[in-house]
Chain A
């Protein structure tokens, strides 16, 4: 580390001599607020429940079919999995544009999205050009942003009752050990390890599970709480790709294999 310059030393010396406004005692007000019954118990009490069972969830993960080593990989998918005995019941999706309803961000074009993020946005060739593209940037999105490609339903892929669209392909990147997605899995949801074109990932299927976004400040974004349908999560060279829809595992793998 280089020696501090004379200017830096002078600045450091100033710190002890400043007249800061008196620090208010925040403890009583915060104490009251965190002890008070929550105004939105439909979600937050359940999230608190989920937090309280985090240790139990970890224990559950340890007995899940993938090994302890695989659990570390799950965290590298920037996704926190929690198994809970009962899923919270989200409120119905709010009306409004798709980006608002599903917390996808602002609608944009593929080329604009490409220009706004640091990675090459992967497009599944077997689905073709997306019908809509959304971009979510920090602080509402993950630290390096998130791009979502939206495909409407088609004969082989029904429109999902959970999302109102056929397929969502969501992409994000982040440094290792940062999580910005969270999934709560109930007893009716299965989690299988998959490999697609040498990229490892997980297939979450069965009963709808809960999906949440953790923003770049580490806050759980409660408005993103929604039920998700079958989802394939894979790490493609550091880009986390989520393929979600009322898909079979084979269909999801085919879509993921056509990413390029």
Chain B
């Protein structure tokens, strides 16, 4: 099987036996989602980097508690997100998260007219602004589920709540966002 990338199970098993290189591969695989999750929680890239780094180190030290065969993403995200929340708590401030559309953003689809493309871009930009304006709780659950594309289990881990709570919190947050979208559209 030369050249075959090790799967997560193999990497965790090796890391649990003290193989630091295997753990570095795990960090490499999950650092983006971990960093972005921490960013959504702290609203600061610097704090997110610190939280992700600290979280990965703590996870390494707690590898003995990782159950073989378990999903690694929720396990890692729970630890990193916990670290991010601790950072927010200890500094007593959460930076205002300001997500933006990428520079040069062009809506997908089959060559829309410049006018249609402009309208679509404006719609998305407006929707993102409305997400940014939500309360911390609503923005966190919507950002985790849709913008970070975390699963229900991962969102629960990232927010430190039960999966059932994710569903109810998401439903309420979507209702409030929908109301704001309708309000702005009707204005």
Contact = CB atoms under 8 A, between A and B. Distances in A.
Contacts of B63: 51
A92 interface: no
A220 B99 contact: no
Given A11-B131, A217-B82, A217-B160, A23 B53 contact: no
Contacts of B128: 14, 18
A17 B64 contact: no
B20 interface: yes
Contacts of A26: 27, 31, 34-35, 49, 52-53, 56
Please indicate which of the listed interface residues B20, B56, B65, B177 has the most CB atoms of chain A within 10 Å of its own CB.
Answer: B65
A23 B160 contact: no
Contact of B60 (A23, A34, A177, A214): A34
A51 B63 CA distance: 8
A17 B101 contact: yes
B17 A33 contact: no
A131 interface: no
A18 B147 contact: yes
Interface residues of A, number: 43
A12 B142 CA distance: 10
A52 B18 contact: yes
B102 A19 contact: yes
Given A8-B146, A20-B39, A219-B79, A47 B181 contact: no
A177 B173 CA distance: 31
B137 to A, nearest CB: 16
Contacts of A44: 61
B26 to A, nearest CB: 10
A27 interface: yes
B23 interface: yes
Interface string B40-54: 000001001100110
Contact of B124 (A13, A20, A47): A13
B65 A214 contact: yes
Nearest to A18: B99
Contacts of B149: 12, 15
B124 A17 contact: yes
Given A12-B149, A14-B146, A51 B64 contact: yes
Please indicate which of the listed interface residues A5, A18, A177 has the most CB atoms of chain B within 10 Å of its own CB.
Answer: A18
Nearest to B106: A17
Interface of A: 5, 7-8, 10-15, 17-21, 23-27, 29-31, 33-35, 44, 47-48, 50-52, 54, 80, 138-139, 177, 179, 214, 216-220
13 contacts: A8-B174, A11-B127, A20-B39, A21-B45, A23-B31, A24-B49, A25-B31, A26-B52, A29-B53, A33-B57, A139-B160, A217-B78, A219-B61
Given A18-B100, A31-B24, 14 more contacts: A8-B174, A11-B127, A19-B103, A24-B52, A29-B53, A30-B53, A34-B60, A35-B20, A54-B16, A54-B64, A80-B65, A179-B65, A217-B160, A220-B61
